[in-house]
Chains A and B, each alone.
Chain A
Amino acid sequence: MIRVVLPHHLRTLAHVDDEIHVDLNSSATVRAIIDAIEEKYPVLRGTIRDHETKKRRPLVRFFACGEDISHEPPDTPLPDSIAKGTEPFFIMGAIAGG
């Protein structure tokens, strides 16, 4: 089980209050986690990454174990603590609101 912390607006959109949980059939990567989120919460499709190109939206960032991994290739294996659910995977909106 993967634990995911969504930014506030996406929690509202998905009607969830706290962190969400997704199960993966494959190894833990950013692509696999986003695929699983979009499968479980279709409302979030297009909000984290583009529908067609699958590119991360520019003002959305990904963090694992305190590290910004937004620019890592999406198939890069994530740390064990993310894969085992001891640490959450963070999806954050850039602090760009002034």
Chain B
Amino acid sequence: MKGSPVDPERLYASQTSAWFGQIIQRSDDGGKSWNTPGGGPAINPQGMSMGESNKFVYDGVPGTHQWYDGTQHPWEFKRVWHLEPSLDDPNHVYAGVEDAALFQSKDGGASWQELSGLRKHDTGPKWQPGAGGMCLHTILLDQKNPARISVAISAAGAFRSDDGGKTWKPINRGLHSQYIPDPLAEVGHCVHRIAMHPSRPNTLFMQKHWDVMRSDDAGDSWREVSGNLPSDFGFPIDVHAHEPETIYVVPIKSDSEHFPPDGKLRVYRSRTGGNEWEELTKGLPQRDCYVNVLRDAMSVDSLDPCGIYFGTTGGQVYASADGGDSWNPIVRDLPAVLSVEVQTLC
């Protein structure tokens, strides 16, 4: 879920179940009430799409991508992984979906159209699903350059458009993935998350399957900044609201062991944009902790000092009001936390 940066009352949320498929919900009152856009009484205001907020249809013949066993597999819509409201219009919102594609709605989520230049990129048949499916999970918008959109897909990699989503290019140079046949391939990298400070859109920070990476040229080239992390596997990554060189990750033991190293839940902070990391443990469980932190489950507020928040698969949401120095569980005993988003309302 995510709120519009220009209208704090406007929130978007994605629900998915095996029974009833995709549901898009929207709130126009800051979360007090929720409705399915275009799903109300069957009176069709002129031009309003009705009952199509969950209709995600690929543009044209979908084609195929690579399956786990190396064969080609048809593109099939499964769910929305991430919703990203535009920076200037509360009715304009992007959706990253599985199987990987980018959609947008310009009517508040009532109907969706694919920005199909991404999925139709020449490398599309080489894209393959990660363990969680072939998901487009990261959408970065550049407030200085509205034509620029960057996305990330597991397991294809990162892509950038400089023309509002019509055409795309892979931006994976410098990524090194030993678990794929060509570790330096143009696509096929399992990018877990990318974060960006809005004041520095050319600097991107990436948590890859393994490795924490940094780019200072909008993704044209990357270098590793894992430094002294106890494990450079993990899912979320985020940037401090006021310090563009201060970043946060949550190391996880390995791709087959989704829990913190040594059973200690530690956030790592770098104040140098990577390479030099300090562990943040005050208020976090330091023994027998075997939760994971998923890629969309970390967020920052814009207060001073900056607040940091993350949720776990064990159902806790931890918050730090002092930039990560100390933590408190602000809610516990939820189901696995998939998404943590913050709005600063004062």
Spell out A's residues near B (CB within 8 Å).
Answer: 7, 9-10, 13, 38-48, 51-52, 57-60, 93-94, 96
* CB of B23 within 8 Å of the partner chain: yes
When the two chains form the complex, which single residue of A38, A43, A48, A58 contacts B36, counting CB atoms closer than 8 Å?
A: A43
When the two chains form the complex, which single residue of B17, B18, B21, B40 contacts A46, counting CB atoms closer than 8 Å?
A: B21
**Interface locus among B48-56, B225-233, B287-295:** B48-56
Can you identify 7 A-B contacts, CB atoms within 8 angstroms? A10-B20, A13-B39, A39-B42, A41-B42, A45-B50, A46-B55, A57-B19
Give the Cβ gap from B37 to chain A, nearest Cβ, in Å: 9
* CB of B147 within 8 Å of the partner chain: no
Give chain B residues whose Cβ lies under 8 Å from the Cβ of A13. 20, 23, 36, 39
Give the Cβ gap from A1 to chain B, nearest Cβ, in Å: 17
Asked whether, in the complex, the Cβ of B38 is within 8 Å of the Cβ of A47, the reply is: no
Cα distance, A84 to B163, chains bound together (Å): 58
Asked whether, in the complex, the Cβ of A45 is within 8 Å of the Cβ of B19, the reply is: no
Give chain A residues whose Cβ lies under 8 Å from the Cβ of B50. 42, 45
When the two chains form the complex, which single residue of B17, B23, B42 contacts A40, counting CB atoms closer than 8 Å?
A: B42
A-B contact count (CB 8 A): 60
> Most chain-B CB neighbours within 10 Å: which of A13, A43, A46?
A43
Question: In residues 1-56 of chain B, which contact A (Cβ within 8 Å)?
Answer: 17-23, 36, 38-40, 42, 50-52, 54-55
* CB of B57 within 8 Å of the partner chain: yes
Given known A45-B54, A46-B51, contact A59–B22 (CB-CB < 8 A): no
Asked whether, in the complex, the Cβ of A94 is within 8 Å of the Cβ of B54, the reply is: no
Give chain B residues whose Cβ lies under 8 Å from the Cβ of A46. 21-22, 51-52, 54-55
The residue on A at minimum CB distance from B37 is A43
Give the Cβ gap from A21 to chain B, nearest Cβ, in Å: 14
The residue on A at minimum CB distance from B55 is A51
> Most chain-A CB neighbours within 10 Å: which of B50, B51, B54, B57?
B51
Given known A42-B38, A43-B36, contact A93–B51 (CB-CB < 8 A): no
Given known A51-B55, A52-B57, contact A43–B40 (CB-CB < 8 A): yes
When the two chains form the complex, which single residue of B20, B42, B52 contacts A47, counting CB atoms closer than 8 Å?
A: B20
Give chain A residues whose Cβ lies under 8 Å from the Cβ of B21. 46-47, 57
Asked whether, in the complex, the Cβ of A7 is within 8 Å of the Cβ of B38, the reply is: no
Cα distance, A93 to B21, chains bound together (Å): 12
The residue on A at minimum CB distance from B53 is A43
